[in-house]
Chain A
């Protein structure tokens, strides 16, 4: 017997009868749906395991002895927790961490401070040329860094700032296109009446921005702060170019890369242990602020 074409793809989990009470689907259908869901989960679990595998092996290797790490074995025997302490002895981990924290915190502060007013002007103030400027901001997001970095390096070098963190921190205070974009999109969603109410109360632009818009946009500002912190923490090219010549100012990314460059596969266990220590803080921060991150990503991709 042929089922009518429409019945095959019905997604509803229950059929509402005229009396209004949901009726359970026949056991045939329920069993088929259960099997389909098991299959879906199985595929998802498979993918999830594939994605988790690198973490597992990196952690496993981080706990191995030097010789065992060279063998490609899959389980540490014995567990050498001292590797993590050893990392601090073989590379300047504390200092690099301090440098990375300084860079991340300072640039995050700068980006928020400079991007909020710009986004506010681009979204809640009306003026001629507003759209053109916004397009310009977007355009700078697509500019390849190589085109601007050489003259910037030359300039900072003339000011004797190469070999410090300043060339990385100063630009953060001059606006960041991505943050401006995110904030502007969010600011646009704030209802006009709230702004009008404040204006009627005699607030000037500063007060409106601070008391109305910023207060309501806290989640978006949090997202921007987290993105910038993450970007700075993970940044390699910037610190490499501007601090590469001065080991005292290396951030973790540069320090780790330098530490591993001449290893030739010798100290894998320490390299992996150092990698784990390097990625741990951001993973922890992520778990504490998951929702903010994912909402921020969705905001860029779909509304963009």
Chain B
């Protein structure tokens, strides 16, 4: 018996078959998605809810969690000296370190783009530090920047001042920023691709108008790569708030295990949280710290997104300001 003949096209038998086929299709979709679905529930949703719960308790893993209401948060904002200090240090890295990195990445990308031959060799040299494990890179820089180390030797030869870098509270964070600049390769490559994507006719039109290189950069290149700048900025900020490994390794190595060495200048939010959770086992308090961090990151991200349409210029309109 024909299933799909006019006018009996949508017979109930046809509909049943189609429904069963659709069910099987969605079943396959669900099957394919299952690893991520399970992961989402087990590794994201569940832990987020649990950590929110823990943040209202006192929990040391030896006894069951004890409900304490808002006391963790109250302590955090009024009585915890390291909360504000670590927040300040983290804000420094986010507000100063991230923009410097982006400027440096764009700068090196522009330098590299102007080179016509052997570009891939240079690109490799700039990219390899990104591959280096953070622990090894940090140790390398702690050594390089140690007060009697090679960099200071060079500075001495050039009659420049020799900071104590990781031994000096004023210079510890700048030293970490230097480390961050060394591993700029990945970001640089992203910017290179974006800059090379800018349509040539825009530059040609500017040439006819008599624009100089800086004007071309400021009015063509920058607006056209602004989506990439925005993307890197957002990811950089989100990552900056979670800054941990480099600070932990640097302060442990330079300060023989004292976190935040020297004098708490490398006490970042992530470090304080780690110490509270896995050294002191204040699981409830650490969870509260984690949620405050999460809210701060969300607020920052929303602000960045909201203000982005003022300076981010998406292709589709094209052209200059």
A-side residues, CB < 8 A to B, are 5-6, 8-10, 37, 40-41, 43-44, 47-48, 51-52, 54-55, 57-58, 60-61, 70-74, 113-115, 117-118, 120-122, 125, 127, 133, 136-137, 140, 142-154, 157, 171, 173-175, 180, 204-205, 209, 230, 233-234, 236-237, 240-241, 244, 252-253, 256-257, 260-265, 268, 271-272, 275-276, 278-279, 282-283, 286-287, 290, 293-294, 297-298, 300-302, 304
Contacts and interface: CB of A to CB of B under 8 A. Distances in A.
B242 interface: yes
Nearest to A262: B256
Nearest to B26: A127
A157 B61 CA distance: 9
Contact of A150 (B25, B32, B283): B283
Nearest to B216: A9
B263 to A, nearest CB: 17
Nearest to B186: A297
Interface string B111-133: 11011100000111111110111
9 contacts: A117-B33, A125-B29, A144-B242, A144-B290, A148-B44, A234-B131, A241-B274, A278-B135, A297-B189
Contact of A51 (B46, B47, B125, B231): B125
Nearest to A294: B189
A57 B150 contact: yes
Given A147-B51, A268-B143, A297-B186, A205 B28 contact: yes
Interface residues of B, number: 103
B152 interface: yes
A118 B123 contact: no
Interface of B: 25-26, 28-29, 31-36, 38-40, 42-44, 46-48, 50-51, 54, 61, 108, 111-112, 114-116, 122-129, 131-137, 139-141, 143-144, 146, 148-150, 152-154, 182, 186-187, 189-191, 193-194, 197, 203-204, 206-210, 228, 231-232, 234-235, 238, 241-242, 244-245, 248-249, 252-253, 256-257, 270, 273-274, 277-278, 283, 286-287, 289-291, 293-294, 297, 301
A279 B133 contact: yes
Contacts of A72: 146, 148-150, 152-153
